[in-house]
Amino acid sequence: MGVGGRPAACASCGKRLNYKSWYYRNGKHFCKRRCWNTEQEKTAKEAAAKAEAASKAEPAKEAPAAS
């Protein structure tokens, strides 16, 4: 990602963006619509995995070993 506000690469595949035909959604730029779909699926999967991990996480991980 560029620093000056202009994105340099697709947020999904990392390909350099063609400024004439980029695809912009939710604050991210993609080189094409397919990449937007891919990113959405990825984000949804990650969110689901995170939620699952959180629900399965052992609560005693950082608890003091008091017996």
Member of 12, 17, 29, 39 binding Zn ion (CB under 5 A) = 12
The answer to the question of residue 8 lying near Zn ion (CB under 5 A) is: no
For residue 38, give the nearest of 5, 60, 15, 57 by alpha carbon.
Answer: 15
The answer to the question of residue 1 lying near Zn ion (CB under 5 A) is: no
Of 7 and 12, nearer to Zn ion (C-beta) is 12
User: Is 1 in contact with 10 (CB distance < 8 Å)?
Assistant: no
Q: What does the alpha-carbon distance between residue 40 and residue 31 come to, in Å, rounded to a whole number?
A: 14
Q: Which residues bind Zn ion (CB under 5 A)?
A: 10, 12-13, 15, 31, 35
